[in-house]
Structure 1
Amino acid sequence: MSDQQSKIYLTQVMHQRFFPVDYRFSYPVFSLLFDLDRIEAESRSLSLFSIDRFNLLSFNRKDHGPRDGSCLKSWATQLLSSQNIEIGDGSIKLLCFPRILGYAFNPISIWYCYHKDGSLKALICEVNNTFKEHHFYLIHNHGESLSWPVSAVKQKQFHVSPLIGMNGEYHFAFHKPGKRLGVVIREYQDERLMLTASQAGYSYPLKDSQLLYALIRTPLMTFKVMFAIHWQALKIWLRGAQFFPKPKPPKEQIST
């Protein structure tokens, strides 16, 4: 399987709370990784997966970026250019959950932005909350290439959970997505580790047989993700975690 070919990753997502409640849970999920320039053509060979139309599994451009259904690569390229990051004719790959029966919720989607010479120029972490709000954290090296594994620290700007405050920072760690996928996010407050979230697993070719296997392994996954967010939050709150009211969303949708 070449690096250019779209992939399906069968993974485990893990959340570990450390303070004020020690609590851990994990569950199986699957993600797709595809080149924004290639996925439409690749989807034509699939029966179970479609672009911008209903299917058992699908990808809809309105779920990402500007949310208006326009070209996602153009939007991302303009965002990068605004920060003096140029990729030329390079590729942008998106890691995300697909829609299942027309529904998707992505707590985080990751855009891998490559220069035409193959070097990684930036990562865009697209974060969604359950209030239908979203925010983008841009990880870059001021126009220079990034080296694998990529690590970065970003001040928290966006409300995700009512059980953890806003005065924190994220420590991101990304391994190059190949045969294996590895993403780790740690949240600190006043140098205290509050939370670790990770996604790790293995890749397979994006084929109908693998999509069907993933659905059998994790049926109705996107519905279960939304349920798990609320169910696990309830259990953490019942264990004594503090409740934080939802603040107003940040004025800027992009943290650079």
Structure 2
Amino acid sequence: MLTALYRTRITHLRRSPVHHYFEQSGYSWYVDIDNLPRLPGWLQPFARFEAEDHLSPSPHGGADTLRARVDGYLAERGIELPGGTVTALMQARVLGYVFNPLSVFWCHDGDGVLRHVIAEVHNTYGGRHAYLLPPTGDRPAAVKKALYVSPFNEVDGYYLVRAPRPDAELDVTISLHRENKPAFVATLTGARRKASIANILRLQMVAPVAPLMGAMWIRIQGVTLWARRVPVVPRAPAVVEREKVDQL
């Protein structure tokens, strides 16, 4: 698989207790985690991929690679995909900073058949949680919310995650539901671009230090909600539960 870039558009729509909408532009990488991009030395500060930015270290020890972390996560759930390709959508470190609100891993078996999807959500407090999903294609999968993401949302309800493998277009949707009604909807869309040096440089100009700007923009929206007197939910110690997944 060839490494690719997606010029992205991210939207957030909150439906309750107030209506609030915002969108921002950025870009994401689509990579084979066994064949991560190797950029010229002078360009590496603008695109570095570190295993520590995703999932947890493998309990079996050994080299701490992104592949080892994905395999370890699956092994803890009784899943083995020997030799299977894993592709991922993520942001790279830019000038040493990274913020991945959502990383998605598409896990294939040795025959190239998509078997599992891992959607990892990160919050602005340094926390993260990975949800194991079935390969539902264009249909959503449901999973119980397990991570405190926003000070304006309880850790309750469930997500509907629609994450088909990106091709010429990227089209991912996550919605938070309570009482079978959507309380919050986020989308990540974009058009595929070749991961050429020219395109990497162009994206640095139109979306400089994209991970940092993304995190700052989310915090600005938080201040906006606070100013609108949306109730603040205190952050409690995280309780990580084994994912409960239902195909819809």
SS of the residue corresponding to residue 255 of structure 1 reads: coil
2:200 pairs with 189, 200, 211, which one?
211
2:55 pairs with 41, 50, 65, which one?
65
Contact 2:137 2:162 in 1 (8 A): no
Aligned residue number for residue 130 of structure 1: 124
* 1:106 matches 2:111: no
Query: CA, structure 1 residues 49+90, in 2 after alignment: closer, same or farther (shift >3 Å)?
Result: farther
2:17 pairs with 17, 20, 24, which one?
20
Shift of 1:65: 2.1
* 1:43 matches 2:38: yes
Contact 1:85 1:121 in 2 (8 A): no
List gaps (5 residues or longer) in structure 1.
Answer: 141-145
| TM-score of the aligned structures, taking structure 2 as reference length | 0.90
Distance in 2 (alpha carbons) for counterparts of 1:79 and 1:166: 22
1:226 pairs with 203, 215, 225, which one?
215
Matches for 1:1-256 after TM superposition, within 5 Å:
4-39=1-36, 42-44=37-39, 46-47=40-41, 49-50=43-44, 55-66=45-56, 70-140=64-134, 146-252=135-241, 255=243
Contact 1:120 1:147 in 2 (8 A): no
Shift of 1:236: 1.6
Query: CA, structure 1 residues 222+191, in 2 after alignment: closer, same or farther (shift >3 Å)?
Result: same
SS of the residue corresponding to residue 25 of structure 2 reads: strand
Shift of 1:192: 2.3
Contact 1:93 1:111 in 2 (8 A): yes
List gaps (5 residues or longer) in structure 2.
Answer: none
Query: CA, structure 1 residues 61+75, in 2 after alignment: closer, same or farther (shift >3 Å)?
Result: closer
Count of matched residue pairs = 240
Query: CA, structure 1 residues 89+15, in 2 after alignment: closer, same or farther (shift >3 Å)?
Result: same
Aligned-residue identity in percent? 25
Aligned residue number for residue 143 of structure 1: none
Distance in 1 (alpha carbons) for counterparts of 2:120 and 2:172: 14
Paired residue type of 1:66:
S
Paired residue type of 1:99:
R
Distance in 2 (alpha carbons) for counterparts of 1:92 and 1:245: 36
